[in-house]
Amino acid sequence: MISTRSVTIIASVFTLAACAAKPVEPVSEPDHAILWAAHAVEYQAISMQVYSQATRDLRELVANSSWSALPGHEGPSNKPLAVILDVDETVTSGVDMELTLEPFSNRRQFEWNLSHKAIPVRGVAEFVNAAKKRGVDAFFVTNHTCIPVEGNSDPCPQEKSTIDKIGEVGIETDADHVLLVGENPDWNKEKLSRREYVAETHRVIMLFGDDYGDFVACSRAKPSAPCTTPATRASRIEALDTYKDYWGNGWYILPNPMYGSWTSVQ
């Protein structure tokens, strides 16, 4: 006769065998950064706050003909006016992309852009249209990168997809106003040379971005020309004080807890 104890042991063996056969489900932690960008109305409120503040500041910065948002370019100028905006997380939100595009590559980003409709950052279209009404041109300086695509004769098909993306959020633009990495030989991930390019023909009155590099040169862990030294957490904090008068006064930063140059500096 089988004892109660034996029955318990046999049952336990079968239970363990069943557990061994079933693959262990990984416990996935929620990514609070992506959840926040995707669902927090706080994010949308901050974006609206940034762009409505900038819209109010337009009158003063347009009127001050000696003002420039680019350090070193102050002084009287009669050039046409411009603002410079980054694209990802400044004009369009990439929360869907962050959820689906692992591992990231420029090629996969290009393909994703072709097949997904842009999510607008709140307030940006209203701002750009208000700026245009005051005669201020908008340039888009993005680290989307020119990469030839097989079967496509365009050397930079990413430019058209970026223009289309910006159009989807209600901002009409063209190739002269969208500046990508690799479009010119000296246009690399360091955005300084592209800001200087716009400044050759325009008085730049405002900068917009979600990354420190959209404002401050040489703020990336992997330096690109003309920068030679890797940025550090300490060097970035130092720059915060150097340029303290610009924040909210010509420089307007949007939040991005999901990715950015801040993640790789030490």
User: What are the residues binding Mg ion (CB under 5 A)?
Assistant: 86, 88-89, 210
Closer CB to Mg ion, residue 86 or residue 190? Answer: 86
Q: How far is the CB of 211 from Mg ion (least distance, A)?
A: 5
Least distance in angstroms from the C-beta of 89 to Mg ion? 4
C-beta closer to Mg ion: residue 159 or 210: 210
Q: To the nearest whole angstrom, how small is the minimum distance from the Cβ of residue 144 to Mg ion? A: 10
Q: By C-beta, is 82 or 207 nearer to Mg ion?
A: 207
Closest approach, Cβ 98 to Mg ion, in A, equals: 12
Q: What is the DSSP string of the chain?
A: ---HHHHHHHHHHHHHHHHHHSPPPP-PPP-HHHHHHHH-HHHHHHHHHHHHHHHHHHHHHHH-TT--SSTT--S---SPEEEEE-SBTTTEE-HHHHHH--S--HHHHHHHHHHSPPEEPTTHHHHHHHHHHTTEEEEEEEEEE----TT---S-HHHHHHHHHHHHTT----GGGEEEETSSTT--SSTHHHHHHHHTTSEEEEEEESSGGGTSSS-SSS--TT--S---HHHHHHHHHHTTTTBTTTEEE----S-SGGGT--
Is the Cβ of residue 79 or residue 112 nearer to Mg ion in the bound state? 112
Minimum CB separation from Mg ion for residue 44, in Å? 17
Give the residue closest to Mg ion by C-beta: 88
Whose Cβ is closer to Mg ion: residue 86's or residue 203's?
86
